[in-house]
Amino acid sequence: MSIFNSLGSNYNLRYVWKSLFSDYSGKGQKLKNFLEEKYFGKAILIYKGREALTLVLKILKLPKDSLVAINGFTCFAVYRAIEEAELIPVCLDLESGNTDLNFTPEILEKALKENANIKVVIVQNTFGYPASMEKIRRITREKNIILVEDLAHCVGTVYENGQEAGTIGDFATLSFSQDKVIDSVSGGALIIINKKYFNENKFQLETLGNRTKDKMYPLFTHKIRFFYDSGIGKILHFALKKLNFLSKPMEEGLYKLYSLPDWYCNLALMEFSKLVNQLDHRKEIAKIYSSKLNKRIFNAGMAKMIPASANLRFPIFIENRNNLIAFLKKENIFVSDIWYDSVAPECPNAVDISTRILNLPTHINVSRKSAMRIADKINLWLKSQ
């Protein structure tokens, strides 16, 4: 059966049924209460994770020339969220000669010396692999800088000091978008952790209208994947994309501060109830990749962090990436969605990594057998190079 990196790969029949027929009344308050207890803060539910980042920056009421430090290897949505708040993003490069996907405390300290106007630092724990958060937290406290933990990749990640991601910063943001650890098709949340800002949210969230495309997305993608090998799934995928019936995580025209309807909250709660099992599965799949793949194509340091990571993806680093993608496609393994292939030109190390990275799937629809098959095929391709 074909293996996909994304395309609704977090969904099974139970998820599809829940998305179509479950009762959603009152789930928003239930999710809010759950998040406040889990992350020890005040929760605001919002339609997109990137909107949660914008809301943080609006709450802070910073001068317009304020800088926000972010990973140079990140999603355009993060840039967009900062610009929407009318502030200026500053990209921090990755360490030279290393494939660690998080900026280091040393790189942050250097940036702070060069840019006195940095008022906020956002840490994303790329693909769930923990950054050096204790040192970063100490630096931001000494400099009186706001620290935001972006949990889009890393719900369930544990730092070296034993604290869970989302409990250390002044704010935490979550994304429940397609293919994330917590996947409710769309959605997100802002957690205000620093009590100083508990009463600073004066922004009225707009009400979101009916999003039929989101509701149908789990059913459509499940059918596409189920029938893909027969050829029917390919036709269905093409037709739904052509007719614009498939929901998109980066859909333009919706960049406003919308509250999150109960439908998404119900799915997010279901995903949180399965989180421990999901993390165990992702950990197991990542360990298979690290044990079977040729050691020269992945970061050994990151592999050691698998037990502490959410393991949203398992990254490998190769030359001639497109050739491997084409080779795997012939084996019905579809891994072409790279995610971060557009990064800041002022970050040459991040740019270099973005040209070589390939992210392997760890989601629930990747079995142990499938993971071993993927690793075997990649090792076979490497021998031919």
Is the distance from CB of 176 to CB of 187 less than 8 angstroms? Answer: yes
Residue corresponding to tokens 């840039």: 79
The H-or-E segment that residue 231 falls in is: none
Q: What are phi and psi of 96, to 5 degrees?
A: -65, 135
Tell me the CATH class for 23-197: alpha beta
CB-CB neighbours of 313 under 10 Å? 26
Task: Give me the pLDDT at residue 126, please.
Answer: 96
195-244 pLDDT tens trace: 999 987 777 888 887 688 999 999 999 999 999 999 999 999 999 999 99
What's the CA gap between 211 and 221, in Å, rounded? 16
DSSP assigned state of 2: -
Which residues, 6 or more positions from 212, have their beta carbon under 8 angstroms from its beta carbon?
none
Q: Is 86 helix (H, G, I), strand (E, B) or coil?
A: coil
Beta strand residue intervals within 112-180, DSSP E: 118-123, 146-150, 171-175
- pLDDT, mean over the chain: 93
Q: Does domain 274-384 have CATH number 3.90.1150.10?
A: yes
Best CA proximity match to 151, nearest among 121, 176, 179, 120 = 176
What's the CA gap between 275 and 352, in Å, rounded? 33
For 277-299, letters b (16+ CB in 10 Å) and e give ebbebbbbbbbbbbeebeeebbb
Residue at 340: amino acid letter: Y
What's the CA gap between 130 and 149, in Å, rounded? 11
125-168 pLDDT tens trace: 999 999 999 999 999 999 999 999 999 999 999 999 999 999 99
Output the pTM of the full model: 0.95
48 against 254, higher pLDDT:
48
54-88 pLDDT tens trace: 999 999 999 999 999 999 999 888 988 999 999 99
In which residue ranges of the chain is CATH 3.90.1150.10 found? 274-384
In which residue ranges of the chain is CATH 3.40.640.10 found? 23-197
